[in-house]
Each structure stands twice: as structure tokens, then as C-alpha cells.
Amino acid sequence: MGKRNHSAGKLSAISLKTLGDGMHADGGNLYLYVRGESREWVFRYTSPINNDRRKMGLGSLTSVGLADARRLAETLRTQVKNPIDPIDPINARNAASDLRKATAMKRTTFKQAAEQFMKVKRSEWTNPKHAAQWVSTFETYVYPRIGGLGIDLIEPQHIVKLLQQDIKSKQGVIEGSFWEVRGPTAERVMGRIKYVFDYAKASKLCAGDNPSVWKGLLENLLPKQMDTEEHLASLPYKQIGDFMPKLGKKKGTSARALEFLIMTVVRSGSIRMATWSQIDFEELVWNIPDENTKTKVAHKVPLTPQMVAFLEALPTFKGCDYIFPNANNNPLSDMALSEIMRGMLEKGEILEDAVPHGFRSTFSVWAAEQTYFPDEIRKACRMHAVSDSTKKAYERTDFFDKRRELMTQWSKFLSQPSIKKLAKSKSNVINIKEVA
């Protein structure tokens, strides 16, 4: 055992995790006993019954914070003065345990804070599916890990362990960590946890830094996520030449919306909420407002000649500004585009079990393998964040001109026949020697 520290004085919340082995005094008979990784609160006193020296455990640091330990010690000091021995007599033996339970009941757990936050924000979530996803992901990945912990006791290490929890297959085989195997969901969960802590801090349920912040904190404790959208079910870009003509023959607004989604590689929410007033045909720009983006940051999509021709061919509806309205002149449902893909799969028109959002991955892989545009430009086309250093290097905020070049190449690629068709048409290639 290390040296004992009997000097009077208050311990600080910051020093509690760094103290070496020994008995560290906080004053007023309260000590923190440190031995290796173990940190236990101890109340030391002289029994008013028989003057024996006694010590009483008040719980570990992980379950009892500094402020709670001081309140427990204050209550016990009052008992000793009464005079009551907190340990002996039998009737008072469980006094400290009962007090700890009462203290824990007053502490807000992470689950309680999360439920309070969702109740406050639920009216802002116009999409019921969005609210359901919050509950589902928290019940699956978060609550079993930190749901019962006091939100003021949670540290970055708790979040890291949560994100590194094992993911098992249906057969019970460990596929890898949550962070590695289900990257997109893990990132969303991390962001949702951050919102809960921001709410808890504003509501005075906890203090200090947010333990789930990525920048400057978790980014140093976890590996950087790869391009997570590539994990989604997507159509290989070499099949796009077969797919686009089949999609073009489909009737209905949903099919046209899916076509425009593929052309622009934006998320389905922006497509469904697109309006004619957002389209600037003179500057050849689609101005997506911040409320229609996942990141809540306005985005400009450069319109290529193919996109303009596509838009000009679409019908308009009197009294309706939506580009892709449903039968009631309201935005399409979230499932409308997915149903098109599902129907084409069932009819054998596509061989891959792909989803609309996966076309962003199709674009990403195509751009990486078939163009020389850097990763930052490819990310900017899909409204992904880019590094500050790259912004400074290009002296732009959104790489608009570079994105226009890349999207022009993408539009041309979408209008080309598939590689399979090109192979079949090789007999139509003119022999140069014959021309000569």
C-alpha cells in the first residue's frame, strides 16, 4: 500500500481519477481509498457507543460521485453526534445503504435524460420513422450499456466501450465491433448520444465536458470511420448502364424521383422535399435549404445539361411547387423510392438487393475507380464534411466548380450503355485499316 494522506482539505473532481494508492482525505471524516483500479469511499469515525475506531464503506467512485459522498458523510457525522453509531446498533446498520439508494433515486440516469430529451424534441420530428429509430437504436445499443448509469457519472471511456461492443450474427458468431461492422448506425448513435448530453447539461443534470464529442475527444480514442455508405446495399456501377433504361421506362412520380436521386447523389429526403422554387435554371443550380438536408446545412447541387433536360421534361401541377408530389400534391413518402427498387428486384430487372440510398455508394466507388478527383471532392458531392486543411488548400468552402466537373462526368456515365452492351456491340466498331 502507498503512503497515506491524512492532511485535511478538499479533494477535487479532477484529481479523483489520478490519485495513487492510499487513503486520501477529503475532510470531515471522508476518505477515498485507492488500490490499483479500485476507488472506494470510506467514512472513518469514532463510535459514540464504545469509542472504537471504525470505518464504513460508502460505495465505489463509479457509483457515488464526490458531491454525493460528501452528503453521505455529512449525514453520518450528524448520526455520530446524536449519538448514533451508523454501524452498530443493528437498527442503524443499513443507514448508509438506505441513504445511497435515496441518493441514487434522485440522480437522473442516461435513459431518463434520453427519454426527457425525446419528449421535448418529438414535435420537431415530423417523420415518425425518425423518432422510432431513436428509440430502437437506444434500446438495442445504448441502454444495455449506459442506460442505468447516472448521466453525471458517464465518461468518454463508457462511450468508447459502447461503440466497441461486439456485434453477433444470427448464428451467434462475432462479426466485429459495432463501430466497425455497422459504421453508419454507430455514427448516428454517437451523434444522438451527444444531443442527449447537450440537453442534460443545459438542464443542469450534469456538468463538465460532453463525453461523446468526436472532435478532439473520441477521434483520439477510436479509429476514423471509413466511407460508411459503402456498407449499404448498392448497385455496382458497372450495372448502371442496364439499370437506368429500365428505370426510365417505369411510370410514375416515384420512378422519376429515383432517377433524379441517382443523378444528383443527394439523400432521398432532399429529393422528396424538392421544389421548383429551389431550381435556378439561369445559374444551373439546385439550392437545397438547410431544413431539407440531414446535416441541416444548405447545399448547392450543380445542374448538368442532362439534369436540366430531365427537369424540363417533367410535368408541373397547378398550385403545387413540389417537383415530385404524390397524388395529393404533398411530398412522397419515405418508402416510395424503396418500393420502386423492391419491385424491380422481384421482377428480376436487377440482380442486386439494393436500396436507393446505396446509389450514393455506387457513385462513390465509380468516382474513386474511374476518375482522378480527390476524396474530398467526392465527399462534397454527397454533402459529407471535408477537412479544414483541404478547404484552405482549395480556397473554397464547397468545391462547387470542382463538383460541377465531377457531376458532369457522372451524368455522361449514367447515359452510357453498360459494359456488357459495349462488348456485344464491338462488331459495329469500324476497322481503321479498312478506312485507310
336 and 418 fall within a common domain: yes
In a domain, residue 7? The reply is no
> Which of 80, 106, 132 is the last residue before a domain boundary?
106
27 and 149 fall within a common domain: no
**Host domain of residue 74:** 15-106
> Which of 225, 245, 268 is the last residue before a domain boundary?
225
Of the candidates 187, 193, 191, which has an alpha carbon nearest to the alpha carbon of residue 117? 193
Which residues neighbour 396 within 8 Å (Cβ) at sequence distance 6 or greater? Answer: 402
Cα four-point dihedral sign 333, 337, 338, 342: positive
User: Which pLDDT value is given to residue 424?
Assistant: 44
What are the residues facing 54 on neighbouring strands?
Answer: 45
Ordered per-residue pLDDT tens for the chain, 436 residues: 444 444 445 788 778 888 888 888 988 899 999 988 888 999 888 877 677 788 888 888 888 888 888 888 888 888 777 766 666 543 344 545 555 555 555 678 999 999 999 999 888 776 677 788 889 899 999 999 898 888 988 999 999 999 999 888 777 777 788 888 777 788 889 989 999 999 999 999 988 889 998 888 888 888 876 544 445 567 888 888 888 999 999 999 999 999 999 999 999 889 999 999 999 999 999 999 988 887 778 889 999 999 999 999 999 988 999 999 998 999 988 788 888 888 888 777 776 667 888 888 889 889 888 988 888 888 888 886 554 444 444 444 568 899 999 999 999 999 886 544 444 444 444 333 333 3
Distance CA 158, CA 114 (A): 16
256 and 206 fall within a common domain: no
Provide the grid cell at 192: 444522438
Neighbours of 306 (CB within 10 A): 16
155 and 172 fall within a common domain: yes
284 and 396 fall within a common domain: yes
Q: Is the peptide bond before 305 cis (omega within 30 degrees of 0)?
A: no
295 and 332 fall within a common domain: yes
> Which of 168, 194, 225 is the last residue before a domain boundary?
225
User: Which pLDDT value is given to residue 222?
Assistant: 87
In a domain, residue 5? The reply is no
195 and 74 fall within a common domain: no
CATH number of the domain encompassing residue 39 = 3.30.160.390
Return the ∠ at Cα 354 (arms to 265 and 177), rounded to 5°: 95
What phi-psi label fits residue 127: left (phi over 0), alpha (psi between -120 and 50 degrees) or beta?
A: beta
130 and 76 fall within a common domain: no
284 and 263 fall within a common domain: yes
In a domain, residue 292? The reply is yes
User: Which pLDDT value is given to residue 97?
Assistant: 53
In a domain, residue 230? The reply is no
Distance CA 131, CA 112 (A): 16
CATH number of the domain encompassing residue 173 = 1.10.150.130
CB contact at 8 A, 267 and 289: no
Cα four-point dihedral sign 355, 419, 380, 266: negative
User: Which pLDDT value is given to residue 92?
Assistant: 43
What are the residues facing 320 on neighbouring strands?
Answer: 317
Task: Output the pTM of the full model.
Answer: 0.48
299 and 394 fall within a common domain: yes
272 and 345 fall within a common domain: yes
116 and 101 fall within a common domain: no
State how many domains the chain has. 3
Consecutive H or E run containing 116: helix 110-121
In a domain, residue 434? The reply is no
